[in-house]
């Protein structure tokens, strides 16, 4: 019997568990350990609440979770309740699938003012992550700035722009919906430090901006290269740029919509100013050098705004004793190997890139690597040893069966048309399992 511990119950964790099960059948026991009492990581707290079809992939993870040889061990913090070293003593392989839940910080003057918010916090807030339920973002101003030209920036802009009825069928949490209903925001600026050909936005997500009830995307054609130059782009990127261009051709048709989503290209934030809270963003115009990097032109302008949300990527939190690559914000690894018996997968391995589906080949690959290393296993204690440790420390884990009860309560609490109303407090989650 092989014993594998996976830390993190998001997509990378569950795809790895599925791969282990497919590889070994009943000859493996997998424990998926998570800090929260609820599973699925980014699917629950990262994927936008109005993208339910993407969230539906959790049904596949549930199939894996409900098999006898895979176990969910929720509400256990590695590093507090149990150490990585202890897990390494108990399991043949420990796989860190901890994702990249920390924001890359916006390192500019004024970056610590009230109203400067990282995307992990903002996305966590509207998705009901217990760490960010109290965020209370300032949506009372007329203008907000979003920094970054990736899909997260798009998600954030779309969520701020939507009307209440556009959230029907979503699982946006009540505290966020209530706050967004009272929003005064009329102008959402999306700042990219490079140009339209350098965006990291995918076509489907970009296309959605052209079909919002009260908001319209606004672009300035002077930022665009000649249309013929689009032919050099790879097909997905070309589609995205075609969407951007269509926002210009459809400007007349969209002009009645009162909220604007302004694409400000070649715009690098250099400082945030305000009296204790965000009042304006100072932006430097950029141009691209021959390697397509943005360089400042010295030409500056100001954008009045009451909130700045930086969507500039994420980092994996380091774990004491685990080698870490500070520059890239992920564990130091070679093809997922960190140290003997210790591995990483998904964003914790490669950094925050790709889609949910990218984690599937990643999860299957790491199990092949583990298999090459562990052979038929080393007679470790596995889950029995973990249970004994947790018992001794009076730590009670939340099981998948418990989660199903929590989920039942969330479904029962849903407002009309919504799939669930998430608990946003860990104590409420834990209480719901005994109902």
Q: In whole angstroms, what is the distance from residue 163 CA to residue 326 CA?
A: 40
Binding segment for ligand NAP (CB under 6 A), chosen from 79-87, 146-154, 227-235, 426-434, is 146-154
Binding segment for ligand NAP (CB under 6 A), chosen from 169-177, 256-264, 347-355, 363-371, is 347-355
Q: Which residue is nearest to ligand NAP (CB)?
A: 150
CB of 282 to ligand NAP, least distance (A): 13
> Please, which residue, 106 or 406, has the CB nearer to ligand NAP?
106
> Which class for 399: exposed (0-12), middle (13-18), buried (19 or more C-beta within 10 A)?
middle
Q: x-or-dash pattern for ligand NAP, window 154-173, by CB under 6 A? A: -x------------------
> Please, which residue, 183 or 240, has the CB nearer to ligand NAP?
240
Q: Pick from 66, 54, 69: which is nearest to 11 by CA? A: 54
CB atoms closer than 10 angstroms to residue 320: 9
CB atoms closer than 10 angstroms to residue 113: 16
By the rule CB under 6 A, 184 interacts with ligand NAP: no
By the rule CB under 6 A, 311 interacts with ligand NAP: yes
By the rule CB under 6 A, 207 interacts with ligand NAP: no
**Helix, strand, coil distribution of the chain in percent, nearest 5:** 40, 25, 40
> Which class for 253: exposed (0-12), middle (13-18), buried (19 or more C-beta within 10 A)?
exposed
- Answer for the pair 222, 255: CB distance below 8 angstroms, yes or no: no
Among 150, 341, 346, 363, binds ligand NAP (CB under 6 A): 150
By the rule CB under 6 A, 52 interacts with ligand NAP: no
**Strand-pair category, 116-118 with 307-310:** parallel
By the rule CB under 6 A, 420 interacts with ligand NAP: no
By the rule CB under 6 A, 369 interacts with ligand NAP: no
CB of 421 to ligand NAP, least distance (A): 23
Alpha-carbon radius of gyration of the chain: 23
Q: Say which DSSP state 225 is in.
A: P
Q: In whole angstroms, what is the distance from residue 287 CA to residue 265 CA?
A: 10
> Please, which residue, 145 or 370, has the CB nearer to ligand NAP?
145
By the rule CB under 6 A, 12 interacts with ligand NAP: no
Strand ranges across the sheet with 267-273: 267-273, 280-288, 294-304
CB of 239 to ligand NAP, least distance (A): 14
Among 52, 102, 163, 202, binds ligand NAP (CB under 6 A): 202
By the rule CB under 6 A, 242 interacts with ligand NAP: no
By the rule CB under 6 A, 147 interacts with ligand NAP: yes
Q: Say which DSSP state 196 is in.
A: G
> Please, which residue, 293 or 393, has the CB nearer to ligand NAP?
293
- Answer for the pair 386, 32: CB distance below 8 angstroms, yes or no: no
Interface positions, 267-306, toward ligand NAP (CB under 6 A) = 294
By the rule CB under 6 A, 149 interacts with ligand NAP: yes
Among 78, 152, 180, 367, binds ligand NAP (CB under 6 A): 152
Written in H, E and C, the secondary structure of 378-393 is CCCCCHHHHHHHHHHC
Catalog residues that contact ligand NAP under the rule CB under 6 A: 147-153, 155, 192-194, 198, 200, 202, 205, 294, 311-314, 352-355
């Amino acid at each position: 019997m092989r014993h594998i511990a996976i830390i993190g119950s998001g997509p990378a964790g569950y795809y790895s568990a599925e791969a282990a099960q497919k590889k070994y059948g009943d000859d493996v026991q997998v424990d998926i350990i998570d800090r929260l009492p609820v599973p699925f990581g980014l699917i629950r707290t990262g994927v936008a609440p109005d993208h339910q079809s993407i969230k539906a992939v959790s049904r596949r993870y549930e199939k894996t979770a409900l098999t006898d040889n895979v176990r969910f061990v929720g509400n256990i913090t590695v590093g507090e309740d149990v150490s990585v070293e202890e897990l390494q003593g108990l399991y043949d392989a420990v796989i860190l699938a901890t994702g990249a839940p920390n924001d890359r910080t916006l390192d500019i003057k004024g970056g610590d003012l009230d109203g400067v918010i990282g995307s992990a916090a903002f996305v966590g807030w509207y998705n009901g992550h217990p760490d960010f339920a109290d965020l209370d973002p300032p949506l009372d101003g007329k203008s907000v700035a979003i920094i970054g030209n990736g899909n997260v920036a798009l998600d954030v802009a779309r969520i701020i722009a939507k009307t209440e009825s556009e959230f029907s069928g979503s699982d946006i949490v009540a505290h966020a919906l209530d706050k967004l209903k009272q929003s005064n925001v009329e102008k959402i600026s999306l700042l990219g430090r490079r140009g339209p050909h350098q965006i990291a936005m995918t076509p489907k997500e970009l296309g959605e901006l052209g079909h919002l009830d009260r908001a319209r995307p606004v672009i300035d054609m002077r930022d665009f290269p000649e249309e013929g130059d689009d032919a050099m782009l790879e097909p997905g990127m070309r589609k995205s740029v075609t969407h951007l261009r269509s926002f210009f051709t459809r400007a007349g048709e969209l002009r009645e919509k009162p909220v604007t989503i302004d694409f400000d290209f070649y715009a690098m934030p250099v400082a945030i100013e305000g009296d204790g809270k965000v009042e304006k963003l100072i932006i430097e115009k950029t141009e691209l050098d021959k390697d397509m990097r943005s360089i400042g032109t010295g030409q500056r302008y100001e954008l009045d705004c009451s909130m700045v949300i930086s969507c500039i990527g994420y980092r994996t939190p380091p774990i004491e004793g685990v080698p870490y690559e500070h520059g890239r914000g992920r564990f130091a690894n070679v093809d997922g190997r960190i140290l003997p018996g210790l591995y990483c997968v998904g964003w914790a391995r490669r950094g925050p890139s790709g889609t949910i589906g990218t984690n599937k080949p990643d999860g299957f690959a790491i199990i092949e690597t583990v298999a090459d290393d562990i052979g038929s296993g080393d007679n470790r204690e596995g889950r029995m040893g973990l249970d004994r440790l947790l018992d001794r420390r009076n730590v009670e884990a939340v099981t998948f069966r418990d989660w199903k009860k929590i989920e039942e309560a969330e479904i029962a609490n849903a407002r009309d048309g919504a799939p669930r109303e998430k608990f946003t407090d860990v104590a409420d989650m834990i209480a719901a399992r005994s109902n």
